[in-house]
Chains A and B, each alone.
Chain A
Amino acid sequence: DAGITQSPRYKITETGRQVTLMCHQTWSHSYMFWYRQDLGHGLRLIYYSAAADITDKGEVPDGYVVSRSKTENFPLTLESATRSQTSVYFCASRYSGGETQYFGPGTRLLVL
């Protein structure tokens, strides 16, 4: 049971480049989420999706784009990476009506 996976696990890129972080879950959870975690801030919600083709902004959406064409995938794209987007990115999912969010292992992104 793979659960929820993220790729890549580590990424180094340069300012201005486009980067896509992948998230895949095998539970058919309807809800999926993207967070970033920075020292002193805790996790902050970037975007979430209630179902395929339905996405909504979270607390810090600027500079990010998401899509959800299939229930199991929720990619996060940084269209033009900036140094301030250096962070650890976590994807999460949960059942509709459930409370528990299940997190992927995270992607550590460094923007030079």
Chain B
Amino acid sequence: RKEVEQDPGPFNVPEGATVAFNCTYSNSASQSFFWYRQDCRKEPKLLMSVYSSGNEDGRFTAQLNRASQYISLLIRDSKLSDSATYLCVVNNNNDMRFGAGTRLTVKP
């Protein structure tokens, strides 16, 4: 079983839609959690950190449920520019474990 599991998608949604991605992790000792975004043939870039209290950055909302070892990312009012692969990342003492990513395509 992989340490970080994500639905690979692809998710194909129209502009303006709301889309949610889920991620589960197996190491209960994991300390910090992130969502990264990766455009095709580019490097990953930090989208946002994820906190137990939940956090929001504009149209993006991230949630963490430590008891269920579950992380989510919600994107509201999708834009064409949101098309990318979203990577769930779990960190335990510099050992960052990445999910394989969920691909999102936003269509006009």
Contact indicator A101/B46 (Cβ below 8 Å):
yes
Number of B residues contacting the other chain (C-beta, 8 Å)? Answer: 19
Contact indicator B43/A50 (Cβ below 8 Å):
no
Contact indicator A42/B94 (Cβ below 8 Å):
no
Give the chain A neighbours of B99 by CB distance below 8 A. Answer: 42
Residues 12 to 41 of chain A near chain B (Cβ within 8 Å): 31, 33, 35, 40-41
B74 at the binding interface (Cβ < 8 Å): no
B96 at the binding interface (Cβ < 8 Å): yes
- Main secondary structure, interface of A, reads strand
A41 to B94, CA, bound (A): 19
Contact (A31, B94) CB under 8 Å given A43-B87, A105-B43: yes
Contact indicator B94/A103 (Cβ below 8 Å):
no
In the complex, which residue of chain A has the Cβ closest to the Cβ of B3?
A59
Q: Closest approach, in angstroms, between the C-beta of B43 and any C-beta of chain A?
A: 4
Q: Closest approach, in angstroms, between the C-beta of A112 and any C-beta of chain B?
A: 21
Contact indicator B98/A42 (Cβ below 8 Å):
yes
Contact indicator B34/A99 (Cβ below 8 Å):
yes
Q: Closest approach, in angstroms, between the C-beta of B34 and any C-beta of chain A?
A: 7
Contact indicator B100/A40 (Cβ below 8 Å):
yes
A84 at the binding interface (Cβ < 8 Å): no
Residues 63 to 112 of chain A near chain B (Cβ within 8 Å): 90, 99-101, 103-106
Residues 8 to 49 of chain B near chain A (Cβ within 8 Å): 32, 34, 42-46, 49
Contact indicator A105/B95 (Cβ below 8 Å):
no
Contact indicator A103/B98 (Cβ below 8 Å):
no
Q: Closest approach, in angstroms, between the C-beta of B53 and any C-beta of chain A?
A: 16
Interface CB pairs A-B, < 8 A, 17: A42-B4, A42-B98, A42-B99, A43-B44, A43-B96, A56-B94, A59-B95, A59-B97, A99-B32, A99-B49, A99-B91, A101-B46, A101-B96, A103-B43, A103-B45, A105-B43, A106-B42
Residues of B within 8 A of A (CB): 4, 32, 34, 42-46, 49, 87, 91, 94-101
7 closest cross-chain pairs (CB), A and B:
A103-B43, A42-B98, A42-B100, A43-B98, A100-B46, A103-B44, A42-B99
